[in-house]
Structure 1
Amino acid sequence: MTNCWTAWDCQGCSAKERQGSLWTMNRYTTLKQLGDGTYGSVLLGKSNETGELVAIKRMKRKFYSWDECLNLREVKSLKKLSHANVVRLREVVRENDYLYFVFEYMKENLYQLMKERNKLFPESVVRNMTFQILQGLSFIHEHGYFHRDMKPENLLCMGPELVKIADFGLAREIRSQPPYTDYVSTRWYRAPEVLLKSNTYSSPIDIWAVGCIMAELYTLRPLFPGNSEVDEIFKICQVLGTLKKSDWPEGYNLATSMNFRFPKCVPTSLRSLIPNASNEAITLMKDMLQWDPEKRPSAAQALRYPYFHVGQALGATS
């Protein structure tokens, strides 16, 4: 049995209409495996009709009804998100109780792009990539979602010229009711409120992650490479300094309720850690990396920072 809808053409179709679709995975030839994760594996495929390359994500668990598929967070969020800096979902197919997402093909992810580099990116390139990430994130947040798993592996690229946000498996609606699970995002990009087990966090956790990613784009090294949750907080304290209660009372109280004591650290300036960044870049990163989530700019506010007010065309160029 095959059920299918295309991401844009069939959003209004009834379940009955979708079930009558003749589109099956036979329309694609799989070429090789691109990756394997907890919930699914990703294959490189080719459309038999057009020859166009696609990325096919095959979910590992089985889905026994179409409604079950439609309730997946990844389906719900991507159905609503069409933007130049959000990866495009072309269609979803359920065949023999397996679910397949067919995405536009992107050559690599940001982690791979950085790993391949043998010299630092020029600031103009970092600025353009950061701009595209914030553009995509601003669109996601304005449409009522936050990503919860922003990290270089989930930012897909066609070289440094084009960056798109991908993998919405952990996305939540901003208006959805907490408590949320505390285990989100790879540890190195995890915001302090998540590390301190807050269950009422929201979109500012994505902004924290972008601050970490932006710093990494300048240095090609992670900013807070903790080897455990406690070590992650220690790494953050080494840069931001010990948290004072007056800086973020809620975070201080979260730590107290966990019987956690912040290590005594003198702050290290971002300027000394990222010497190749301009003053405007340092200002933006410092604001995105505030302990208190309320003090971080929104993605839309971040895009208005002087860092982006330069004589440079910003945005996707390919």
Structure 2
Amino acid sequence: MGPYGKAGAATVICMDKDGNYLGASAVTIEGLVDAASLEAHACNEALALARDLNVTHAIIASDCMQVDNQGKLLARVAAAAAWFKSMLVLAAQLMGGYSFAPGPRNLWTGPAATPPRIGIAALDDVVAATPAARKSQRAPATPTPTRSGHFHRLEVIGAGTFGVVYRVRDRRTGEIVAMKCLRASDDGDAGRYLSDFAAEVSALEACSGHPSIVQPRASGHLGSKAFLAMEFVGPTLRYVMKHVRYGRRHTELEVRLLMRQLCAGVRWMNRLGLMHRDLKPDNVLVDNHGNLKICDLGLSCSMADGPPYSNPVGTRGYCAPELLLGCTNYDEHVDSWALGIMMAELLAGKHPFHGRSDTEDLGKILDLLGTADIKEWSGYNGRRLPGGCQLGSFLRNKFPCQVEARMKGLPTLLEAGFEVLSGLLRCNPEKRLTTEQALKHRWFKEANPRATRS
């Protein structure tokens, strides 16, 4: 089989004979990659993982892919059972006493001993503990077992109520990664933080491979602290907007390129049945080439089980009108609204609806966009709305065409761009653009933006 790309990646998952999760690992190789060499590397990683876990009865499931040097997925290779059987026979010779037994998965059997569980059980247990926690998950997390000695801490790059984010070096690969460590706590919020942390691990694993979403590297426990290691990207979009551009507006062309990346990343999540639910410039990272990567998926939620979903959720200023009205029967359109806010913020250099409370936010939204749209929503119950009484939208006045913008000193936005902005900022979620619809709009095709896998 010929080469598929310039890099390859494989995820190896290890379970015991009863199907209980034991651990996982990942391997990447550079240079021209074909299926056989990538599978061989996956098998070697499986051997190393088995030795680390000291397993005696383990299922090794390998998911391999070839990617080019931009991270574009070119092929996904499923290991053939016959090939794995031959490789596991070799593994038996190398490890001594291991043999292959056919079955629904690739099974290693060996000398009797009790395989040790790694310290990730707390994450698995808390996810399974409540229906709300299970709804925040798409699939069980598959964290990579690791030891604290694998990472060399360099500096603190962020902190919050949940814990601390460090810039660290992986001693095994030399890669600089970002490590989020959950702060150990005995207070009432500890379970919620752990649930959100587990949801983020699961969501990142599910979204792995998309160039506009931050990539996971490892997860597990370091002492008493749960951790998640991710690729190190760069500062947040908020930091760039405030401290690099000093509030200067982005041009329409720049916004088009940035929004295409954000919409593509969110579309990927939505296609997987996930809502991000906390999109904002603080949760978008910017690399040294100006490319964007969505991060902080701790509030992400699976749509597989359907509503009701939690509310309040997200960050004030980026919550859709239906959330501000207390709706729990929402969907991926809440992500579309947040993208519309970010688009307006990039164009204008400031937030379009900056209130001091949810009610004030909703009032400012309706002052600008009018009340007619929200009143057509099937979920509107006739309640009194804050803000002015005008029915129509004044959004175009804030983002006029080129001639008018020059006269008034306002951000310029061509008609096609305004169609996207106004489509994302529909108060009625039933008429709001999805990311799928937005990316098909002519605005994203007029400037021939950089290609992004979707």
TM-score, with structure 1 as normaliser = 0.87
Distance 1:76 1:60, change over 3 A: same
Corresponding residue number in structure 2 for 1:150: 279
Corresponding residue number in structure 2 for 1:98: 225
Corresponding residue number in structure 2 for 1:216: 345
AA paired with 1:29?
A: H
**1:272 shift after superposition:** 2.3
SS at match of 2:201: helix
Which residues of 2 match residues 20-99 of structure 1 at below 5 A?
Answer: 20=53, 23-61=146-184, 72-82=198-208, 83-99=210-226
Corresponding residue number in structure 2 for 1:161: 290
**1:292 shift after superposition:** 1.2
Deviations 1:148-198 (A, max 9, x none): 101110011115731111111111001234222212121111001110001
User: Does residue 1:230 correspond to 2:359, yes or no?
Assistant: yes
TM-score, with structure 2 as normaliser = 0.62
Assess if the C-alpha contact under 8 Å between 2:196 and 2:298 holds in 1.
no
Give me the identity figure in percent: 29
Distance 1:52 1:13, change over 3 A: same
Distance 1:8 1:87, change over 3 A: farther
Corresponding residue number in structure 1 for 2:336: 207
Deviations 1:243-285 (A, max 9, x none): 467522422x1x62xxx43332435532321331221111111
Assess if the C-alpha contact under 8 Å between 2:377 and 2:428 holds in 1.
yes
State the superposition RMSD in angstroms: 2.6
User: Mind listing any 5+ residue stretches in structure 2 that lack a counterpart?
Assistant: 1-8, 25-51, 54-117, 119-144, 400-410
Distance 1:220 1:315, change over 3 A: farther
Corresponding residue number in structure 2 for 1:3: none
SS at match of 2:230: strand
Q: Provide the rounded CA distance (Å) in 2 between the counterparts of 1:132 and 1:41.
A: 27
**1:12 shift after superposition:** 5.0
User: Mind listing any 5+ residue stretches in structure 1 that lack a counterpart?
Assistant: 1-6
Corresponding residue number in structure 2 for 1:117: 245
AA paired with 1:49?
A: R
Q: Provide the rounded CA distance (Å) in 1 between the counterparts of 2:377 and 2:416.
A: 25
**1:24 shift after superposition:** 1.1
Distance 1:71 1:230, change over 3 A: closer
**1:48 shift after superposition:** 2.2
Q: Provide the rounded CA distance (Å) in 1 between the counterparts of 2:359 and 2:228.
A: 36
RCO comparison, higher one (Cα < 8 Å, 6+): 1
AA paired with 1:111?
A: R
SS at match of 1:239: helix
Q: Provide the rounded CA distance (Å) in 2 between the counterparts of 1:243 and 1:73.
A: 37
Distance 1:71 1:41, change over 3 A: closer
SS at match of 2:420: helix
Assess if the C-alpha contact under 8 Å between 2:377 and 2:430 holds in 1.
no
SS at match of 1:16: strand
Larger Rg: 2
Assess if the C-alpha contact under 8 Å between 1:8 and 1:79 holds in 2.
no
More deviation, 240-249/92-101: 240-249
Q: Provide the rounded CA distance (Å) in 2 between the counterparts of 1:265 and 1:160.
A: 45
Q: Provide the rounded CA distance (Å) in 2 between the counterparts of 1:36 and 1:172.
A: 23
SS at match of 1:189: coil
Assess if the C-alpha contact under 8 Å between 1:113 and 1:159 holds in 2.
no
Assess if the C-alpha contact under 8 Å between 1:62 and 1:97 holds in 2.
no
More deviation, 101-110/154-163: 154-163
AA paired with 2:22?
A: K
Assess if the C-alpha contact under 8 Å between 2:285 and 2:293 holds in 1.
yes
**1:223 shift after superposition:** 1.2
Q: Provide the rounded CA distance (Å) in 2 between the counterparts of 1:79 and 1:189.
A: 25
Distance 1:244 1:286, change over 3 A: closer
Q: Provide the rounded CA distance (Å) in 1 between the counterparts of 2:214 and 2:376.
A: 37
Corresponding residue number in structure 2 for 1:16: 22
Q: Provide the rounded CA distance (Å) in 2 between the counterparts of 1:239 and 1:32.
A: 44
**1:77 shift after superposition:** 1.4
AA paired with 1:200?
A: N
